Amino acid sequence: MKRNTEIKKEVKKRYGQLAKEGSSCCPDYSCCDIGYSIEEIKDLPSDISEFSLGCGNPVALSGLKKGEFVLDIGSGGGLDAFLASKKVGPNGRVIGIDMTKEMLEKARQNARKANYKNVEFRLGEAENIPVKDNSIDLVMSNCVINLVPDKEKVYREIYRVLKPGGRFIVSDLVTERGLDESIKNNPEKLVACVGGALTEKEYIHTIKKAGFKKIKILKKSSMVVSGINVLSETIKGEKR
Ligand SMILES: C[S@@+](CC[C@H](N)C(=O)[O-])C[C@H]1O[C@@H](n2cnc3c(N)ncnc32)[C@H](O)[C@@H]1O
């Protein structure tokens, strides 16, 4: 438990710094590499479109419809929430949650600046989501769950908040082989989204343990992050 608390402290410190610095994209890859087309982001203010710390583009594969309710876990600067906002329209709603105060402030500032009316950002943890049971059509998340020590708890929370028939689309990093203990215990690798990454098999098993039955890998590509070979995967699951 002490280790989990320490990891979360490091993660908050790292992402708090990144929010304040406003550094765009992870240093190892650019926003376009991870699947955002110029067409999708061209109308967004550069403060928003150039601040992505994700590893995929869950919105592009979401099949979102007008009027749907969306939750973005670990919403960062808000890019995915704002892309989803456009898709669900004025009768839909997007809630972003993030545990890092500085990140939340950045997302809220971006929403005010670009005048998004159907997006709200809440302070909260992926393992204890501040959202009602059975209230969400789509849960998405982009390169966040690898940072959370208790991943099964996150997927149990996703299951709880989804409406029956609701779906999740999550982009995350996994590894082909298990990582050495020296990498798993390296704080720098942990906050860079690789130290806490599971293998694909472990990841899918975790999702199943949380109650999901229909799980599909929609997209998979290789990446090198913080010097480690990883796979970026976008995974879909449905609550039956
Ligand atoms: C790699 S960044 C990705 C941000 C955003 N999804 C994007 O694509 O740009 C990870 C984000 O997840 C947040 N985060 C990490 N662990 C979290 C947790 N347990 N609960 C809520 N947010 C978390 C961090 O504060 C950070 O904003």
Apex 232 CA angle, 157 and 67, nearest 5 = 50
Q: Name which residue sits closest to atom 27 of ligand 1, judged by CA.
A: 76
Tokens (6 digits) for 213: 């039955």
Are 158 and 139 in contact by the 8 Å Cβ rule? The answer is yes
- pTM strictly above 0.75: yes
- Residues 235, 211, 87, 18, CA torsion sign: negative
Mutate-to-test residue for ligand 1 from 28, 33, 98, highest number of ligand atoms within 8 A of CB = 98
* CA 188 – ligand 1 centroid, Å: 16
* 75 Cα: distance to centroid of ligand 1 (angstroms): 6
Query: Residues near ligand 1 with C-beta < 6 Å?
Result: 11, 15, 52-54, 74-77, 79-80, 97-100, 103, 125-127, 142-144, 147-148, 193
Strands 214-225 and 119-123: unpaired
8 Å CB contact between 173 and 146: yes
Percentage of the residues of the chain whose pLDDT score is greater than 90 = 84
The dihedrals phi and psi of 184, each to the nearest 5 degrees, come to -60, -30
Top pLDDT among 218 and 52 is at: 218
Residue 28, pLDDT above cutoff 90:
no
Domains of the chain (ranges plus CATH)? Answer: 2-238 (3.40.50.150)
Distance 76 CA to ligand 1 centre (A): 6
Separation of 57 CA from ligand 1 center, angstroms? 15
Instruction: Report which ligand 1 atom has the smallest distance to the Cα of 26.
Output: 1
**Residue 49 has what pLDDT?**
86
pLDDT at 136 over 50: yes
pLDDT single digits (tens) 7-20: 999 999 999 999 99
State how far the Cα of 106 lies from the Cα of 205, in Å rounded to an integer. 34
Q: How remote is the CA of residue 146 from the centroid of ligand 1, in Å?
A: 10
